[in-house]
Amino acid sequence: MSVSEAVPVETQQDTALLIAELHLLSLHGGDDASALDRMLEHVVQGFGAVSGCLAVLDEAQPDQIVITAGVDLPAGALGSRIALGSGVLGSVAAHGKPRLLAGARPGAAQRDLGVPASSICWPMMIKSRLIGALSINRTAGSVAFTQDDVERGATFVTVLALLVDNAGMRSQQQQRIDHLSTLNAEMLAINGELKATQAQLLQSEKMASIGQLAAGVAHEINNPIGYVYANFNTLSGYVTDLLAVARGGGGGSAKPLDLEFLSEDLPDLLRETRDGLDRVTKIVRDLKDFSRVDTSDAWESADVLAGLESTLNIVQNEVKYKATIDRQLVALPAVCCRPSEINQVFMNLLVNAAQSIPERGVIRLASGFDDEQVWVEVADTGKGMTPEVRNRIFEPFYTTKPVGQGTGLGLSLSYTIVQKHHGRIDVDSEPGRGTTFRVTLPRRQPEASGVALPKEAAHV
Ligand SMILES: Nc1ncnc2c1ncn2[C@@H]1O[C@H](COP(=O)(O)OP(=O)(O)OP(=O)(O)O)[C@@H](O)[C@H]1O
Ligand SMILES: [Mg+2]
């Protein structure tokens, strides 16, 4: 049966049919206002009425009902408010009892004005809860409504109340969904901002470490360059003297040339100078290895212990005055990682270890692996941490170091890097005894299935 043609309601079966049709209409979709219009139209048709109106309780002002749907209503009636208790609709809604108005025959003037000759007005209730009110009208000349019509209508008005209530709940639900979507969008935006801030922080932490590194490396290079330069001056003096002897002169200096001394000192000078130059070359190579300036940000199959050694050389200036390095390393298989990031983790751990040692101590480096993962430990004999400090060390900006010495970003950055590698950082620390950090990394990365991992162990 089409939902657009209502059967006149004369029997109980008709009422049931009308209810079923109303239900179909409510499921029919469209916005709630047009669904209510269609339902009301259906009821008006089903009861052979000519006009009707449906008013719903205003939840924001529960002492008023609002005309929400209408069939053949006077202009401007839709949307108007009726106080509970006032007028026929208002008082039916207030008292919860239907009313039949089917009395006086209207005069000609009233007929012209379309004044109804017969009306029924039902309250729409669910148990004792008011949902709204509905009225239908017949004009003069047609058969007046009877008490029977009032009773027949009572059931479907209850059904209509349920449908209206349901529609209200749907719209509330929609409002909640809209609200949640807005919140979600806001959260996504905040998340984006946080990510941008974190990226900026990482950048500034990198800049700070680069500054710290540059100072350390400058110091490390300065030393060999210093003695290469001094040796070079001595050598140029020797060469001048030797050239003078070769030309048959008595030497540039006042004293005679001591060939025996020269033949002993010259090889030493040259060896020391070569050592100095080797040292500078090594520092530059380590610096390159550490920063991996020549590689992209891609996953690589790498020997993390080689990275640890390069990093150790880079931070020599921070470490060598504080600690002796005790290596308890076993060679590790290649690990799929971003080597420059892992080196940055090692740098933070090594510098922290050195800074935790008040005067002199030991930094122990250890390693191990199984089929799935490798681990590297950096342990110190420094001052250790209380449980309170230990619980906060991975928080960004948490530092116990004096202003200007620590930014408190080293470990939070390291944590992020290790997490991105699907690994773990474990800490074991006791005040006065020292601290052990263990970095565990999986040997393979899910994102980097294309990176080949050689089977043989790398050499330390
Ligand atoms: N090996 C360690 N021994 C004792 N305390 C440590 C050790 N490593 C870290 N900590 C504690 O954790 C805090 C946070 O370390 P983190 O590396 O994040 O920052 P920081 O070293 O203070 O500053 P930054 O690394 O930015 O220069 C340190 O201030 C220190 O209190
Ligand atoms: Mg640090």
| The predicted structure's pLDDT at residue 29 | 52
Residue-averaged pLDDT of the chain: 83
Q: Homologous superfamily of 12-177 in CATH?
A: GAF domain (3.30.450.40)
| The predicted structure's pLDDT at residue 437 | 98
> Does residue 357's CB lie within 6 angstroms of at least one atom of ligand 1?
no
pTM: 0.53
> Does residue 291's CB lie within 6 angstroms of at least one atom of ligand 1?
no
Q: Give the residue among 167, 151, 12 at the shortest CA–CA distance from 20.
A: 12
| The predicted structure's pLDDT at residue 219 | 72
> Does residue 209's CB lie within 6 angstroms of at least one atom of ligand 1?
no
> Does residue 52's CB lie within 6 angstroms of at least one atom of ligand 1?
no
The string of pLDDT tens digits covering residues 276-316 is 898 888 888 777 777 665 555 688 999 999 999 988 988 88
> Does residue 408's CB lie within 6 angstroms of at least one atom of ligand 1?
yes
> Does residue 67's CB lie within 6 angstroms of at least one atom of ligand 1?
no
| The predicted structure's pLDDT at residue 279 | 83
> Does residue 365's CB lie within 6 angstroms of at least one atom of ligand 1?
no
Buried b (16+ CB within 10 A) or exposed e, 30-68: eebeebbbbbbbbbbbbbbbebbbbbbbeeeeeebbbbb
Q: Is residue 101 within 8 Å of 108, Cβ to Cβ?
A: no
Number of helices (H), then strands (E), belonging to the chain: the values are 11, 13
Ligand 1 atom 31 nearest Cα? 400
> Does residue 377's CB lie within 6 angstroms of at least one atom of ligand 1?
no
Q: How far is CA 94 from CA 89, 331, 383, 435, in A?
A: 9, 87, 79, 77
Q: Give the residue among 26, 27, 21 at the shortest CA–CA distance from 7.
A: 21
| The predicted structure's pLDDT at residue 332 | 97
| The predicted structure's pLDDT at residue 460 | 35
- Strand-pair partners of 373: 442
For a pocket test of ligand 1, which of 318, 398, 399, 414 has the largest count of ligand atoms closer than 8 A to its C-beta? 399
Q: Assign 457 to helix, strand or coil.
A: strand
For a pocket test of ligand 1, which of 411, 418, 426, 427 has the largest count of ligand atoms closer than 8 A to its C-beta? 411
CATH number for 292-460 (one of 3.30.565.10, 3.40.50.300, 3.40.50.720, 3.40.50.1000): it is 3.30.565.10
Instruction: Tell me which ligand sits closest to the C-alpha of residue 388.
Output: 1
327 alpha carbon – ligand 1 mean position (Å): 22
The protein residues having their C-beta less than 5 angstroms from ligand 2 (an ion) are 352, 410
> Does residue 411's CB lie within 6 angstroms of at least one atom of ligand 1?
yes
| The predicted structure's pLDDT at residue 142 | 81
Q: Which residues of the chain have pLDDT under 50?
A: 1-4, 106, 108-113, 455-460
| The predicted structure's pLDDT at residue 415 | 92
Q: Locate tokens 């809860």: which residue?
A: 129
The atom number, within ligand 1, closest to the CA of 389 reads 31
Domain limits, the chain: 12-177, 292-460
| The predicted structure's pLDDT at residue 294 | 54
For a pocket test of ligand 1, which of 319, 349, 393 has the largest count of ligand atoms closer than 8 A to its C-beta? 393
